[in-house]
Amino acid sequence: MKLIDGIDRINTLVGRAAAWAVLLMALIGAGNAIASYLEPLAGRRLASVALDELQWYLFSVLFLLAAPWALRENAHVRVDVMYGRLGVRGKAWTDALGGALLLLPFCVYAVVVSYPAAAESLRIREISPDPGGLPRWPIKAVLPLAFTLLALQGLANTLRAAGELRRGGAS
């Protein structure tokens, strides 16, 4: 189905791009740690509040924007006590009902709750309260975007599971 394939492609591209945040976080963290270590030798502050905050932002981006990709790849955390013992049809029912009754409503709620805060942060051009900190509105904008992408992936997975049920997958 084109809709499912399109959602899968979008979340794969976004997730792979977000995965680069790991490398950037490591480089920024190492650089800032080295700078902190060298401060006594330099006699002045070398580490940066902005770099600390950027590392935090990258972790948020990684976690939030890679989650839909992890759901797509079935790499998310799942309590597998019963699910692993189910047949194809039982897993399809679990995925369809879990997506429709739990994941999608939660994602819609998260978008509804996070969007006003993100919009207000953008409106006032919110910045960090720390001297030398970064603007806060870009990272707050990631939250409704991430839950929208997660909802879309949940929809794709739910439709995929429903298709499996229509085809009458083996038990």
pLDDT at 45: 82
Burial class (CB in 10 A: 0-12, 13-18, 19+), 149: buried
pLDDT surpasses 80 at 170: no
pLDDT in tens, 61-74: 999 999 999 999 98
pLDDT surpasses 60 at 14: yes
pLDDT in tens, 98-149: 999 999 999 999 999 999 999 999 999 999 999 989 999 999 999 999 999 9
pLDDT surpasses 80 at 169: no
pLDDT at 75: 84
pTM of the entire predicted model: 0.88
> Could you tell me the pLDDT band of residue 85, with boundaries at 50, 70 and 90?
confident
**Distance (Å, rounded) from C-alpha 70 to C-alpha 63?**
10
pLDDT surpasses 70 at 7: yes
pLDDT in tens, 29-56: 999 899 988 888 888 888 889 999 999 9
Q: What is the DSSP string of the chain?
A: -HHHHHHHHHHHHHHHHHHTHHHHHHHHHHHHHHHHHHHHHHTS--S-HHHHHHHHHHHHHHHHHHHHHHHHTT-S---HHHHTTS-HHHHHHHHHHHIIIIIHHHHHHHHHHHHHHHHHHHHTT-B-SSTT--BSHHHHHHHHHHHHHHHHHHHHHHHHHHHHHHHT---
